[in-house]
Amino acid sequence: MRRGGVLASLAVIATGVASGCGADDHKNDPRPPAPIEVTARVDEEKVDVQPSRFGAGLVVMTISNQSGDPVEIGVEGPTGGSGPTIAPGQPGNFKFNFEEGEYVVSAGQESRAREAVLTVGPERASSQNDLLLP
């Protein structure tokens, strides 16, 4: 009787081990590209974004409002959106997931600053096997 119980336990353990090992299809494989940092400067004359060319994926945009008026960064292209209103002389930031294509970045409807043009290429490489820091 004891031998049958041991064999049954070993069969259950072997089934669990076999089903958990060797699976190549993970929901998070491959990881998306790591976010990149992009800076924008807004003054009375223009919006300047650097770099102006990068690969598709999540971008953290830090904006410096060096104009005398509040600005609201707007992004128009294959995907669109807007950031927070940034007071004169203050910084601000927002996250935006860019898809491949051409984009126009403006300082909002109230601003007379010339718009910036961005070129977003194919998606950046996966961050698989990269150390992701907080």
Rounded-to-integer distance, Cα 46 and Cα 89, Å: 15
Report which residue type is found at 71.
Answer: V
Q: How many helices (H) and strands (E) does the chain have?
A: 1, 8
Report which residue type is found at 112.
Answer: R
Cβ–Cβ under 8 Å, residues 63 and 88 = no
Question: pLDDT per residue over 4-14, tens digit each?
Answer: 555 566 555 65
- Tell me the whole-structure pTM to 2 decimals: 0.72
Domains and CATH numbers, the chain: 36-123 (2.60.40.420)
Rounded-to-integer distance, Cα 132 and Cα 134, Å: 7
Question: Distance from CA of residue 111 to its chain's centroid?
Answer: 27
Rounded-to-integer distance, Cα 115 and Cα 14, Å: 63
Question: pLDDT per residue over 15-49, tens digit each?
Answer: 655 555 555 565 656 777 889 999 999 999 999 99
**Tokens standing for residue 99:** 């898809």
Rounded-to-integer distance, Cα 93 and Cα 86, Å: 9
Question: pLDDT per residue over 49-89, tens digit each?
Answer: 999 999 999 999 999 999 999 999 999 999 999 888 999 99
